[in-house]
Chain A
Amino acid sequence: KQEVTQIPAALSVPEGENLVLNCSFTDSAIYNLQWFRQDPGKGLTSLLLIQSSQREQTSGRLNASLDKSSGRSTLYIAASQPGDSATYLCAVRVGGTSYGKLTFGQGTILTVHP
């Protein structure tokens, strides 16, 4: 059974700091990996999606990497801002189809203080 773990569970940083969120998964046979952002009491917003054949994806100040063989992904946030405060979730899609279910980690709660 696929298990996804995120470290740390919570992170508090001053504005402007660069930071890294970690995600590990137990079964390397994934179809892709997706990072989401969730604001309190809200739904999920997709940030980045990395296919199993890719090593990284970038969007603005966000960069996500994937090392499928070691079962790890990182989300790098550059020059953090208070508006980045949210819960960040990683999820892996298993199976051989693009329509398979996502297995989520428990999330990292990020607080960026001014």
Chain B
Amino acid sequence: EAEVAQSPRYKITEKSQAVAFWCDPISGHATLYWYRQILGQGPELLVQFQDESVVDDSQLPKDRFSAERLKGVDSTLKIQPAELGDSAMYLCASSGGVLGYEQYFGPGTRLTVT
């Protein structure tokens, strides 16, 4: 069964350092989402791609966060510099195919900023 892949699964970094997360969506899925989930809360959308174009980044802190999906397949989310408040689970999801309305989530990357 096809799955969304994410790496790394866990990341510990010091404040002010740069960190990057990678996501490989299900093959053929045109829409890719990055969510941030703070402990005890539901996920919140950071950025949404349709193919290689950003369609929603209204909640992305653009002074420190960036995201790209250059060839419309896999994607990278970067934080520079990391702050203590960035500690969270970063989830990637994709949707597409014939019906296209169900989102499939990856296992997430747990980020701890010290």
Contact = CB atoms under 8 A, between A and B. Distances in A.
Contacts of B105: 36, 43-46
A101 B56 contact: yes
A49 interface: yes
Interface residues of B, number: 29
Interface in B67-114: 89, 91, 93, 95, 99-108, 110
A106 interface: yes
B43 A44 contact: yes
Contacts, number: 63
Interface string A70-112: 0000000000000000000101010000110110111100000
Given A46-B104, A93-B101, A41 B110 contact: yes
A46 B43 CA distance: 14
Nearest to B100: A98
Given A99-B50, A101-B33, A101-B56, A49 B102 contact: yes
Contacts of B6: 43
Interface of B: 4, 6, 31, 33, 40-45, 48, 50, 55-56, 89, 91, 93, 95, 99-108, 110
Listed from nearest, the 7 A-B pairs whose CB atoms lie closest are A104-B42, A98-B101, A44-B105, A43-B105, A101-B45, A43-B107, A99-B31
Interface of A: 4, 31-32, 34, 36, 41-46, 49, 51, 89, 91, 93, 98-99, 101-102, 104-107
